[in-house]
Amino acid sequence: MTSGAGVFFDGVTSARHDAVVTLAASGLQIAGPDGALLAEWPYDAIEGLAAPDAVLRLGRRGNRVLERLEILDPTFAAAIDARASYVDRTGLRQRRQRTSVIGWSVAATLSLLAVGYFGVPAIAERLAPLVPAGIERKLGDAVDMQVRGTLDTRHLGAAFECGTAASEKPGRAALDKLVHRLEAAAALPSPLRTFVVRREEANAIALPGGQIYVFRGLIAKADNGDEVAGVIAHEIGHVAHRDGTKSVLEGGGLSLLFGMLLGDFVGGGAVVIAAKTVLQSSYSREVEAAADRYGAELMNKAGGNARALAVMLGKIGGATEPGMKILLDHPETKARVAAINKIAAARPGSPLLDAADWAALKKICAG
Amino acid sequence: MSSLEPATAASSEARLGAQFLGAQFLGVRFLGNARIYWRLLMRGAALLIVTLGIYRFWLTTDVRRFLWANTEVAGESLEYTGTPLELLLGFLIAIAILIPVYAGFFVAALDLGTLGQLSGVLAFAALGLIGQYAIYRARRYRLTRTIYRGVRFHQSGSAWRYAFCAVFWWTLTALTCGLAYPFQIASLERYKMRNTFYGDLGGSFAGSGFALFVRGFPMWLMVFAPLALTVGAFIDVVDWKALADAVEHGGGDVMSRIEGSNPGLAAVIVFAMLMAGLAASAAALLYPAFQALILRWWSSGLRFGELEMRSSLRTRHVYSAYMRFLWYAILFSIVMVVIGGSALLAVGLLAGDDKTGTGGEVVATGILLVGYVVAALGFSTIYRATVMLSLWQLGMESLQLSGLSALDRVKATGGPSSPLGEGLADALNVGGY
């Protein structure tokens, strides 16, 4: 077929022109019913546009004037399709483009995951030391408020902290002595603030800005001052490594990566949260191992018994419930104990707290 | 001719003949095949999962191309010329703008002064404003990518002005529990249509906010009257001072103290729950009617010069669209529960007694996660393929046009706008079709 009927729109007004379309050698010739030439389109300048299934809608590539030609006869449409390379009636070019899009998207997803796993902690590592001390302290105060709010379930307020009542003051003094020895050996750029709080768990946490919370359950489980000192040394490790700030930066980075870049994706929220949780857990395993190493070395420097940290971990570690190993923030206790004992000095010095101070510390939350 | 089914060939021949005779199909027709649309959406959903959502730009473009191209006005179908790469670009620009905004809020939240405490409220207000700005810009993008008879639509007007107006109206609507809504949409539509052009043919909006208010008031009453009764009951029956005293004294037997202070409290609470249930059911049952009312009112108010539109949308057709959605959603839920349940059961059996095994736990979590994503995407796909497609089709086919001659003399003006609005709308989750 070399000619057929079509409807032509010249892109200047909305008037409809019934046209006779001819497949000439150089291109499509579009003529009005009276024979006047309306337009001539070279074959490689023609593209197919979105239209209902029964219509072939053609336009000129890259043309600012929106000329449109519509062909209704399927045989004629097929003939034009054969001559014009950019008309894609069978959808083959679109399918190929689609496949490459999918391929690149999958690649992009994989690289997002890689950046999430490797890149974000590396960037947080670089950025954390650049955070000024003032901002870190403000961050620490903000986290402090939230942490106190979460931990202080009985709303004791100021009384949540041990060591304030008259009978508890000797315990507070003993704690200060202990922390002072460790701080002197650590030589940190900013001062620490340590608190013992009325929580029954055997645990301790460190916040950005140098605040350390020791739970009274830990002191209850310990048998001597070196065991408590070991845990505090581990927490000082977190402060020295600025792990709190890094964790905030990592959380922000992952939120950005998975939250923003994924955008408006129904059901994507769950994937985002899952990805963040798994990735953040994997970061913290290495972080805890590094804090273990720092704690053991600090105990050596302060003249204490680094093995006491390992002993304490053994006591606490046995109490964790078996379960989601991937989500366990702390690596296997046995592995940690072995690592600490390797670093521990061969002959530790005298205990960091004498008997009287230890007895006082044990009673820090008694009042 | 052999590649097409006979029906299509016959109808195209008829149209060929009709066009040569100069006759036109007046009114609006929707030519799209629902099955093709289902396939488009399902393939899109599967690819969304595989690409973690990056495919959404291609899916959106495909959906719009399908809907626009199958909507025929006076014998000519619309054409959508947007591309997925434009949407992707718009999104990237949007993130570049939003990152500093989010970072600013984060830093402000750290500062525990008054600014910090207000930062949550400020963030909400600012994002609301930016969201409305994005909606106006996105509408401009969609309009300028819509071509009819070789002439482009476009939109003028200030997106910031629209954003501030919209936020003002939304606040008013919230304060009046929804009574201001008809006036809100009338005012905003007037602004939008005043700034909408087909070539050099300007648009306008003739719908009256008061007319909508009058027609919608009975529905509002049916939903809010039970809630008002509840509030009245609480104020009337409950002795607030005694209740406050009981709570303050606290202690272990707070509950019995509270009961003692206000003997009617239990009855009032039960009444409140009943009324809340009533209000919720009324809202759910009336929602399709509400949608139909707004769509009919809005379509009947559109004007382009002499071209006038009237809608004869029937409410019962909208109800059947929602019924179809419920039916498919229930079927889908049953299938999900059966498949998910048996998968978890299989994992449990295979893991055996090894309760601490990480393998089993990981697989189970994985199944739950995949199940959640599939469920969310599945319901969304079913909603789009039933309700949204039906509303589009019903809305279009119930349009009666008069003054069509206005469409023949339009001159082309305006050019394509940037996709920033679409990008912002996508990043802030305020998308539409």
B345-389 pLDDT, tens digit each: 888 777 665 555 566 677 777 888 888 888 988 999 999 999 999
ipTM of the complex in this document: 0.77
Amino acid residing at B247:
V
Using the beta-carbon criterion (under 8 Å), do A66 and B376 form an inter-chain contact? Answer: no
How far CA A6 is from CA of A26, A30, A32, A81, B6, in Å, comes to: 19, 8, 10, 15, 21
Across the strands, what pairs with A7?
Answer: A18, A70
pTM over 0.95: no
Mutate to test the interface with B, among A13, A61, A93, A148 (most CBs of B within 10 A): A13
Report which of A241, A348, A240 is spatially closest to residue A300, judged by C-alpha positions. Answer: A348
Q: Where do the H-state alpha helices sit in chain A?
A: 74-83, 92-114, 120-127, 133-151, 169-186, 216-221, 225-240, 243-254, 261-262, 268-302, 307-317, 333-343, 355-362
Mutate to test the interface with B, among A16, A47, A97 (most CBs of B within 10 A): A16
Using the beta-carbon criterion (under 8 Å), do B199 and A14 form an inter-chain contact? Answer: yes
Nearest to B69 among A51, A141, A260 (CB): A51
Q: Is the pLDDT of residue B4 over 50?
A: no
Cβ pairs bridging A and B (under 8 Å) = 185
Residue B140: pLDDT band with limits 50, 70, 90: very high
Helices A92-114 and B34-50 meet at what angle, rounded to 10? 30
In order, the DSSP letters of B205-217 are: E---HHHHHHHHH
Low-confidence ranges of chain A (pLDDT < 50): 319-328
Residue B25: pLDDT band with limits 50, 70, 90: low
Contact A309, A230 (CB under 8 A): yes
- Which residues in chain B touch residue A271, judged by CB atoms under 8 angstroms apart? 52, 369, 373
- Which residues in chain A touch residue B149, judged by CB atoms under 8 angstroms apart? 9, 14-16, 68
Higher pLDDT, B141 or B260: B141
Report which of A90, A134, A139 is spatially closest to residue A249, judged by C-alpha positions. Answer: A139
Q: Which of A315-324, B2-11, B49-58 is least confident? A: B2-11
CA distance B286 to chain A (A): 26
Query: How much of chain B, in percent, has pLDDT values that exceed 70?
Result: 85
Between CA A291 and CA B203 the distance in angstroms is 68
pLDDT of residue B286: 95
pLDDT in tens, B246-291: 777 766 666 777 777 677 778 888 888 999 999 999 999 999 999 9
pLDDT of residue A325: 40
Please give the backbone phi and psi of residue B403, each rounded to the nearest 5 degrees, phi first: 80, 30
Largest alpha-carbon pair distance within chain B? 90
Using the beta-carbon criterion (under 8 Å), do B112 and A78 form an inter-chain contact? Answer: no
pLDDT in tens, A222-259: 888 888 999 999 999 999 988 888 887 887 777 777 76
pLDDT in tens, A175-212: 898 899 999 988 888 888 998 888 888 888 888 888 89
Using the beta-carbon criterion (under 8 Å), do A266 and B411 form an inter-chain contact? Answer: no
Using the beta-carbon criterion (under 8 Å), do A112 and B52 form an inter-chain contact? Answer: yes
Residue B2: pLDDT band with limits 50, 70, 90: very low
